[in-house]
Amino acid sequence: MTDSKAANQLWGGRFGAGPSAIMTEINASIGFDKRLWKQDIAGSRAHAAMLAKAGVLSAADNAAIQQGLDTVAAEIEAGQMAWNPALEDIHMHVESRLAELIGEPAKRLHTARSRNDQVATDFKLWVRDAIDQIDAGLVAFQRALLARADEHAETVMPGFTHLQVAQPVTLGHHLMAYVAMAARDRGRFADARRRANECPLGAAALAGTSFPIDRAMTAAALGFDRPTANSLDSVSDRDFALEFLSAAALTGLHLSRLAEEIIIWASQPYKFVSLPDAFSTGSSIMPQKRNPDAAELVRAKVGRLLGAFQSLAVVMKGLPLAYSKDMQDDKEPVFHAVDTLGLCLAAMTGMVETLVFNTAPMRAAAASGFSTATDLADWLVRAGGVPFREAHHITGRAVKLAEEKGLMLHELALDDLKAVDARITDDIYSVLTVEASVASRTSHGGTAPSQVRAAIAAARQELGL
């Protein structure tokens, strides 16, 4: 049988001539949708079992189909499937090979379904599996962050706004910010999974079917919560893919922010971290260089994730109900996003686990830039009953004096501070060190080591660790 005849037989009698080579090339999706083979076979198993229970398919035909699908799965797993562009997609490949193996019963498998509801089901199953894989990667990332945060719950570093030294914080607190981001990422993926977990199978081409099928049975067999409610929406919906890509893009943004910080921290002006050999490279001309290439590549790849969402959104934005061939372009952006995000998560987890934090430069930077100025203002409010706005101005004058003298705030003599405001006493020195500053930030979610350890414990409990 020629390739065109094989394809025509599956299309039916409507087409008399085979497609041109150009049409074959543009129409075929097997080059990428073969990744759906496990999901396609699972859907066919569930569909055949349901048809047999409904009396649409004989028990003997169902047994032959199930056995034949076992063989097809084994062949694909072993790399023995001959991928043929003339057969267009994974659905036709499975069905065609099944027909070669078991003959007539294979022709009955497609009863009461269409490639439209079939691909929607396969794709949902695949995205659901991808979400589970990404979630596992996010958990590993969180665990790595938690371990380093616990290690550095008391390590002082500068907290920045506008990339200027603002107030002292702890490194553990800083790392826990990314644990919080990852928790939101996991929540978005979980929400997307929950909404996606409705089964399109049985919607057929767009209008449902006249056969006495049991959609709840196939939904349950495939691990869905329920069948989808509207047949038109069932075959035309790609919200689940767009939601996945949106969550992936936000996750990528978070990874990119940490990657950017690692790049900054590893630079010579900062020297906050030393990069591990496994995640850095050298220069072809400058032997002293250690480049943060892994972090830079993670920072770059968020563009691909944003582009994947944009790509699919443009495909879907003007499509009338129900199915259009445009939707064949839904899978490549999602496949690419899953691969990209999985790689970025693995790289960032590895970097977090192996970075060497240089605590001395961190503490020195935390003490620079008059980072405890707010502590002076807060002390004036607490100890002197000074309104905060007035305390803010007094502190500003103290900072100006320290700048003129070339000193840090805690290095100013008490007489100098009293000259700024007579209400200042020697007790002020108890709040002007960076250690005292971070220790005082005991509000819920603050940077005090006690709060950091409480946040770590709560996160570990949430993760079941």
pLDDT in tens, 269-281: 899 999 888 887 6
The stretch 328-341 carries a mean pLDDT of: 96
For residue 141, what pLDDT is reported?
Answer: 98
Q: How far apart are the first and last CA of the chain?
A: 58
pLDDT in tens, 132-165: 999 999 999 999 999 999 999 999 999 999 999 8
pLDDT in tens, 283-305: 555 545 578 889 999 999 999 99
Least confident stretch, 113-122, 353-362, 404-413: 404-413
**Amino acid in the structure at residue 226:** R
Here the tokens at position 418 are: 């009293």
Higher pLDDT, 180 or 286: 180
Rg (CA), the chain: 31
**What is the CB-side half-sphere exposure of residue 320 using CA atoms within 13 A?**
0
Distance separating alpha carbons of residues 228 and 143, to the nearest angstrom: 36
Q: For 85, which DSSP code?
A: G
Least confident stretch, 184-198, 207-221, 242-256, 423-437: 423-437
The stretch 363-391 carries a mean pLDDT of: 88
Q: What is the mean pLDDT of the chain?
A: 92
Distance separating alpha carbons of residues 376 and 382, to the nearest angstrom: 10
Least confident stretch, 271-275, 324-328, 420-424, 458-462: 420-424
The stretch 183-196 carries a mean pLDDT of: 98
> Mapping DSSP to helix (H, G, I), strand (E, B) and coil, where does residue 433 land?
coil
Question: Beta strand pairing status for 198-199 and 164-170?
Answer: unpaired
For residue 1, what pLDDT is reported?
Answer: 42
Distance separating alpha carbons of residues 240 and 246, to the nearest angstrom: 10
The residues, ordered by sequence, that sit 6+ positions from 379 with a Cβ below 8 Å of its Cβ are 427, 428, 431
Active site residues: 162, 283
The stretch 302-309 carries a mean pLDDT of: 96
**Amino acid in the structure at residue 264:** I
The residues, ordered by sequence, that sit 6+ positions from 231 with a Cβ below 8 Å of its Cβ are 117, 203, 204, 206, 207, 208
Distance separating alpha carbons of residues 167 and 242, to the nearest angstrom: 40
Q: What is the pTM of this model?
A: 0.90
Q: How does residue 18 score in pLDDT terms, banded at 50, 70 and 90? A: low
Residue 226: strand pairing partners: 198
> Mapping DSSP to helix (H, G, I), strand (E, B) and coil, where does residue 158 land?
strand
Do 276 and 287 meet the contact criterion of CB atoms below 8 Å apart? no
Is pLDDT above 50 for 317? yes
Here the tokens at position 463 are: 């993760």
Do 424 and 417 meet the contact criterion of CB atoms below 8 Å apart? yes
pLDDT in tens, 31-54: 899 999 999 999 999 999 999 999
pLDDT in tens, 79-119: 999 999 889 899 999 999 999 999 999 999 999 999 999 99
For residue 8, what pLDDT is reported?
Answer: 52
408-410-413 Cα angle (round to 5): 100
Q: How does residue 2 score in pLDDT terms, banded at 50, 70 and 90? A: very low
For residue 283, what pLDDT is reported?
Answer: 54
Here the tokens at position 209 are: 């079917």
